[in-house]
Amino acid sequence: MTIQENYQEAKKHYEKWGIDVDAALEQLKQVPISIHCWQGDDIGGFEADQQELSGGIDVTGNYPGKATTPEELRSDLEKALSLIPGKHRINLHAIYGETDGKVVDRDEIKPEHFKNWVDWAKNHDLGLDFNPTFFSHSKADDGLTLAHPDKEIRDFWIRHTIASRRIGEYFGKELGTPALTNIWIPDGYKDIPSDRLTPRKRLKDSLDEVFSVEIDEKYNVDAMESKLFGIGSEAYVVGSHEFYMGYALKNNKLCLLDTGHYHPTEVVSNKISAMLLYNDKLALHVSRPVRWDSDHVVILDDELREIGLELVRNDALDKVSIGLDFFDASINRVAAWTIGTRNMIKALLYALLTPNEHLKQLQEEGNFTERLALMEEFKTYPFGAIWDYYCEQMGVPAKEAWLDEVNEYEKTVLSQRK
Cβ atoms of residues 281 and 319 within 8 Å: yes
Residues between 160 and 179 with contacts to ligand L2XQQQDX, criterion CB under 6 A: none
Q: Catalog residues that contact Mn ion under the rule CB under 5 A.
A: 258, 285, 325
Q: Which of residues 300-339 bind ligand L2XQQQDX (CB under 6 A)?
A: 325
Rounded Cα distance between 20 and 11, Å, is: 8
Binding partner of residue 204 among Mn ion, ligand L2XQQQDX, none, CB under 5 to 8 Å per kind?
A: none
Annotated catalytic, 52? no
CB 385, CB 9: distance < 8 Å: yes
Distance in Å, CB of 283 to Mn ion, minimum:
10
Q: With CB cut-offs between 5 and 8 Å by kind, which of ligand L2XQQQDX, Mn ion, none does residue 244 bind?
A: none
Smallest gap, in angstroms, from Cβ of residue 210 to ligand L2XQQQDX?
17
Is 399 among the residues known to form the active site? no
The candidate with the shortest Cα–Cα distance to 348, out of 380, 328, 320, is 320
Q: Which of residues 92-151 bind ligand L2XQQQDX (CB under 6 A)?
A: 131
- Assess whether 115 carries a catalytic annotation: no
**The one among 169, 187, 258, 410 contacting ligand L2XQQQDX by CB under 6 A:** 258
Type of residue numbered 380: T
* Contacted entry of ligand L2XQQQDX, Mn ion, none for residue 57, CB cut-off 5 to 8 Å set by kind: ligand L2XQQQDX
Contact 265, 291 (CB under 8 A): no
- Annotation marks residue 325 as catalytic: yes
Catalytic residue among 66, 139, 271, 285: 285
| 42 near ligand L2XQQQDX, rule: CB under 6 A | no
CA distance 229 to 190: 9
Find which of Mn ion, ligand L2XQQQDX, none residue 24 binds, CB within 5 to 8 Å per kind.
none
What are the CA-CA distances from residue 339 to residues 81, 119, 220, 345 (Å)?
A: 11, 27, 29, 10
Q: Report if residue 241 touches ligand L2XQQQDX, rule: CB under 6 A.
A: no
Q: Which is nearer to ligand L2XQQQDX, 157 or 402 (CB)?
A: 157
41 contributes a contact to ligand L2XQQQDX by CB under 6 A: no
Provide the β-strand partners of residue 152. none
- Cβ neighbours for 213, distance < 8 A, ≥ 6 positions apart: 162, 165
Among 14, 19, 33, 38, binds ligand L2XQQQDX (CB under 6 A): 38
262 binds ligand L2XQQQDX (CB under 6 A): no
- Amino acid code (one letter) for 16: K
Smallest gap from Cβ 288 to ligand L2XQQQDX, in A, equals 12
57 binds ligand L2XQQQDX (CB under 6 A): yes
Our answer to whether residue 261 is catalytic in this structure is yes
Instruction: Kindly state whether residue 25 participates in binding ligand L2XQQQDX, applying the rule CB under 6 A.
Output: no
Min separation Cβ 414 and ligand L2XQQQDX, Å: 22
* Cβ atoms of residues 322 and 34 within 8 Å: yes
Active-site entry in 41, 47, 129, 293:
293
Q: At its nearest, how many Å lie between ligand L2XQQQDX and the CB of residue 23?
A: 34
227 touches ligand L2XQQQDX (CB under 6 A): yes
261 labelled as ligand-binding? yes
Q: Which of 19, 43, 83, 144 touches ligand L2XQQQDX (CB under 6 A)?
A: 43
Q: Which residues pair with 375 in a beta bridge?
A: none
188-189 vs 236-237, strand pairing mode = antiparallel
Active-site entry in 225, 328, 388, 410: 225
Contacts of 257 (CB under 8 A, 6+ apart): 225, 226, 268, 271, 272, 275, 282, 283, 284, 285
Q: Which is nearer to ligand L2XQQQDX, 41 or 388 (CB)?
A: 41
Q: Which residues are annotated as a binding site for Mn(2+)?
A: 261, 293, 295
Which residues in this chain contact ligand L2XQQQDX in the complex, by CB under 6 A? Answer: 38, 43, 57, 131, 184, 225, 227, 258, 285, 293, 325
Q: Which residues are annotated as a binding site?
A: 261, 293, 295
Tell me which residues are annotated as active site. 184, 225, 227, 258, 261, 285, 293, 295, 325
